[in-house]
Chain A
Amino acid sequence: MSAGNALTRSAPWRGTAWAMGKLGISGRTLVIAIPMLWLLVFFLAPFFVLGRISLAEAIIARPPYTPLFERGPDGSLQIIASLENYRFLLEDALYRNAYLSSIRIALVSTIFALLIGYPIAYYIARAPEPKRSLLLLMVILPFWTSFLLRVYAWMGFLRSNGVINNTLISLGLIDSPIQMMQTDFAVYIGIVYTYLPFMILPLYANLTKLDGALLEAAADLGASPMVTFFTVTLPLSLPGIVAGSMLVFIPAIGEYVIPALLGGPDTLMIGRVLWDEFFGSRDWPVASAVAIVMLFLVVAPIMWLQSVQNRREEG
């Protein structure tokens, strides 16, 4: 209180506040304005650029798309924009399949990450204090190594003459190596492994807040531990489940590196299609349209979930 008063009474502060007040800017506005400006410059502006390119047509030029405005033969200003690229996306089965396949892979990975992450988060949240910090550290520890390196490490495990196959063969469990690399299975492993901490951390944050007295109350009222879990713990951890699933699902749907390194030629994901359009075909307008459609595919379920949650809180 006194420190704050000393600060707000100091001459430079008062001078600045006065000057900003003249311009109609209060301290509160300023604090909100900075992140808003950041989002505007680095998110909204690129989004509009992308949107504008997606309405253009690919040409061999630099930049490789038609301009938005053009002088007509009579000197009038013309706007050249078409939804042709979007129509193309709809008609070509490749894109539709890529979207569906991306959603499927992201969804399955999210479910597995949830099934693996929930017990881990629950265990950490229930662990006594010194142990809990250690376990949390172990969840975060992999981030200290490069993501790329960790995906490469999985190649060493999954290869035909990799760690897993060699071990199984030496144990006599299999005769010939199992094909794991370049399959959807390897992609699931890669995504679940990479994004597991993003599932565990929000779940942990939620479960650690769970009041132990509620579990005791449920037991006291005759609920077995299993029933207590499904009637009390699980419903109360729903916000953590939603947050964790979002954090896994959203990056997984646009994942490029993991399917490129671990997946096979059949692994169709939208990130890869995008890469091919952009760098392979140099078709920026179609690539932009692919990106925009993906954005809406991801944003729509988030908005829906948000509104469901809001309604739940009100009701």
Chain B
Amino acid sequence: MAQPAGACETKPWRSEAAKPFISVRNIVKQFGDFTAVANVDLDIYKGELFCLLGESGCGKSTLLRMLAGFEHPTSGTITIDGENMARVPPDRRPTNMMFQSYALFPHMSVEKNVAYGLLREGLPRAEAYARAGEMLRMVKLEKLARRKPDQLSGGQRQRVALARALVKKPKLLLLDEPLGALDKKLREETQFELIKIQESLGVTFIVVTHDQDEAMTLATRIGVMKDGVIEQIGEPREIYETPNSRFVADFIGSVNLFEGKIDAAAPDLMRIETQDLGAVLLPPQSGLTLGQPVWGAVRPERFALSRAKPETAPNAWHGVVEEMGYIGHMSHYRIRLANGVLIRASQSNRLRDEDPISWDEKVWISVQPSAFRVLTR
């Protein structure tokens, strides 16, 4: 991938010399026989907004709770800003957490909730409340300072939780499904607000989420977790465009997978013999051997649909539109090839009055070689 000049300043993980701010080494967490986190290594840099993405039970929350100090790792080390966290209890860590349930103290007003952490630091009352007030202004809740949490809406409560976690200016803010309880519209608005706050304060964020759209929108980098293991770490674009496994390819967005074998590897073009599509041509990829079993992965939007046979495309097949879903900005198609294989394709609807390909039409479906990604696992 081409690196623009100066990218290392905003994207320190691209530089070999950059020193990680948080470093997790060989972390294992077992609950009895169950291994929640299995040997995870993770480096996070200052000012990052890192997303841990995975389905429920993949160990992402356990990892977050170990960073906060609520769980003790079975083995491995966690270092935050050069300090080993092994013997540091949660109340002494330079981290703060925003809980999934928000965990606002129901018997305290909004203002008291936010000032709570500052008072524990031994700050004088007047100063603590002044800073809490400042924080509440930032999340636009200054008018509700005297309310109790149960007199707030879900979105307001979420902002109180954020203010309470941020007011101590932690080195690291841990957010457990921060937007999970909000409805879709509010969630989308809040995503950008969260990024803005993160950028203006410069605090390092680690966000746990199961929502891939949320991770893609928020993150500087994403760590995709499965069964206690981080499958892939990368920028959103890397994760989407160059997934390293079938799991990641399928988990982020949707994908068509075709099982096959490396058939020929010419220096300019490689060929995979697949069962479903026959021979597929794609650009050469290093590290593959002849006859190796692989999977070819194509995102649905990379397919081109046409009524006439495309002239130049090296990979083209003929099929029938079996299903079509119009969702406004896009249309999703399921196309049945002559050999019975079903392909998912989608087209963006750019023109208002084009004549869209519809049900039961015979279509040509083609894809550029570079749109294929070869996966070995």
Interface residues of A (CB under 8 A from B): 211, 213-214, 216-224, 227, 231-232, 235-236
Contact = CB atoms under 8 A, between A and B. Distances in A.
A290 to B, nearest CB: 40
B154 interface: no
B120 A214 contact: no
Contacts, number: 57
Contact of B97 (A220, A223, A236): A220
Given A222-B168, A236-B106, A236-B107, A216 B99 contact: yes
Interface residues of B, number: 25
26 contacts: A213-B101, A213-B103, A216-B70, A216-B90, A216-B97, A216-B99, A216-B103, A217-B104, A219-B90, A220-B68, A220-B90, A220-B91, A220-B93, A220-B96, A220-B165, A221-B91, A221-B96, A221-B168, A222-B92, A222-B121, A223-B91, A223-B116, A227-B120, A231-B116, A235-B107, A236-B106
B91 A219 contact: yes
Contacts of A232: 105
A214 B90 contact: no
Contacts of B164: 221
Contacts of B117: 221-222
Contacts of A216: 68, 70, 90, 97, 99, 103
A142 B90 CA distance: 41
A140 B47 CA distance: 56
Contacts of B105: 214, 217-218, 232
Given A221-B168, A222-B120, A227-B120, A213 B107 contact: no
Interface of B: 68-70, 89-93, 95-97, 99, 101, 103-107, 116-117, 120-121, 164-165, 168
Nearest to B112: A231
Nearest to B101: A213
A211 B103 contact: yes
A221 B116 contact: yes
Nearest to A225: B91
A217 B103 contact: yes
Contact of A223 (B95, B106, B120): B120
A231 B120 CA distance: 11
B103 A214 contact: yes
B107 A219 contact: no
Contacts of A231: 116
A216 B102 CA distance: 11
A217 B70 CA distance: 10
Contacts of B91: 219-224
B101 A221 contact: no
A298 to B, nearest CB: 28
**Most chain B C-beta atoms within 10 Å of own C-beta, residue among A214, A218, A222, A231:** A222
A222 B97 CA distance: 11
Contact of A218 (B106, B116, B168): B116
Nearest to A217: B103
Contacts of A236: 106-107
Contacts of A213: 99, 101, 103
Contacts of A219: 69-70, 89-91
